[in-house]
Amino acid sequence: MRKGTDKDWEERSGCMTFPDAVAKALKAKGQDPAKWLQDSRKMSIDQMRKAAADMGCDVFFDWNSARSVEGYFRIKGSTEFCIERAIAFAPYADCIWMETGKPILAQATQFAKEVRAAVPHQMLAYNLSPSFNWDSAGMTDAQMESFIWDLAKLGFCWQFITLAGFHCDALSIDLFAKEYSKHGAAAYVQMIQRKERENKVETLTHQKWSGSEIVDEMGNIVSGGLSSTGIMSAGVTEKQF
């Protein structure tokens, strides 16, 4: 059976990290592995092997057996793992980002405090992911509202929503299309044009916004002012606004 194709392979194989394997050996010897698990977070593989041997726990470990079908080595992802990687990459990255499964402020706080304790100048990023089901994240509306400001206080200076524009466009077009099918041009006027005017959105005059005047000026320069096909020339409908 190919490795990684059996859903319960990991459980049957007793798959674990090298620090966990050493911790298991320490427990078998009646020793508390807590210090080892803490110290090993900052060690390279060679350093971990030497430290384990010094403790009399030179365990057999095969990194290749657990590799994925694609050939990837496995990791045991955790907040602590991300913290150590962030500290290690700090000299080479202007901004560091930890991908999270949910918008959890306590997790972000732990990450920020431990990283910035080691690297005080480090700028942090946070993905306010549209993949999160925010309503099932256990947050109140008030907590959602204050979330970006709470993150900012922790040093998360670049916060982004990876697909906010995509979802905004999809929602807007979906709602508009449904209303347009029932109310025709009135739907466009009521839902879009009037709202652009009320909120002073620049795209109300989309020709000017997109640079038509600049293009016309370039054409006039090239033609010596003799162009007769200017975008904003006589008859342009945008003069109605």
Same domain, 155 and 173: no
Number of domains in the chain: 3
Asked whether residue 125 is domain-assigned, the answer is yes
Same domain, 65 and 98: no
> What integer is the mean pLDDT of 71-80?
90
Same domain, 103 and 64: no
Same domain, 6 and 59: yes
Q: What is the predicted pLDDT for the residue at 191?
A: 95
Task: Return the minimum-mean-pLDDT range out of 184-193, 206-215, 228-237.
Answer: 228-237
Locate tokens 């020793």: which residue?
31
Within 10 angstroms of residue 83's Cβ, the number of other Cβ atoms is 21
Same domain, 44 and 114: no
Q: How many CA atoms lie within 13 A of 140 on its CB side?
A: 3
> What integer is the mean pLDDT of 154-180?
96
Residue 5 has pLDDT above 70, yes or no: no
Asked whether residue 210 is domain-assigned, the answer is yes
Among 129, 144, 162, the domain-final residue is 162
Same domain, 158 and 115: yes
Instruction: Compute the distance between CA of residue 172 and CA of residue 192 in angstroms, rounded to an integer.
Output: 10
Residue 84: domain span: 79-162
Q: What is the predicted pLDDT for the residue at 100?
A: 93
Same domain, 154 and 85: yes
Confidence at 1, pLDDT banded by 50, 70, 90: very low
Residue 4 has pLDDT above 60, yes or no: no
Among 162, 188, 204, the domain-final residue is 162
DSSP symbols for 77-118: --HHHHHHHHHHHGGG-SEEE---SS--HHHHHHHHHHHHHH
Q: What is the predicted pLDDT for the residue at 52?
A: 94
Asked whether residue 155 is domain-assigned, the answer is yes
Confidence at 229, pLDDT banded by 50, 70, 90: low
Residue 233 has pLDDT above 80, yes or no: no
Q: What is the predicted pLDDT for the residue at 31?
A: 94
Instruction: Compute the distance between CA of residue 191 and CA of residue 194 in angstroms, rounded to an integer.
Output: 7
Same domain, 155 and 171: no
Q: What is the predicted pLDDT for the residue at 154?
A: 97
Among 8-17, 197-206, 210-219, the range with the most confident prediction by mean pLDDT is: 197-206
Asked whether residue 71 is domain-assigned, the answer is yes
Locate tokens 């879009």: which residue?
192
Residue 239 has pLDDT above 70, yes or no: no
Asked whether residue 237 is domain-assigned, the answer is no
In this prediction, what percent of the chain has a pLDDT beyond 70?
90
Asked whether residue 141 is domain-assigned, the answer is yes
Average pLDDT, the chain: 88
Q: Among 182, 5, 146, 212, which Cα is nearest to 220's?
A: 212
Confidence at 10, pLDDT banded by 50, 70, 90: confident
Residue 210 has pLDDT above 80, yes or no: no
Asked whether residue 11 is domain-assigned, the answer is yes
Same domain, 145 and 91: yes
Instruction: Compute the distance between CA of residue 196 and CA of residue 177 in angstroms, rounded to an integer.
Output: 18
The CA dihedral of 93, 97, 77, 49, to the nearest 10 degrees, is: 20
Same domain, 178 and 152: no
Q: What is the predicted pLDDT for the residue at 230?
A: 62
Same domain, 98 and 131: yes
Residue 76 has pLDDT above 80, yes or no: yes
Within 10 angstroms of residue 17's Cβ, the number of other Cβ atoms is 18
In this prediction, what percent of the chain has a pLDDT beyond 90?
67
Same domain, 69 and 25: yes
Confidence at 95, pLDDT banded by 50, 70, 90: very high
Asked whether residue 239 is domain-assigned, the answer is no
Among 76, 101, 130, the domain-final residue is 76
5: left (phi over 0), alpha (psi -120 to 50) or beta: alpha
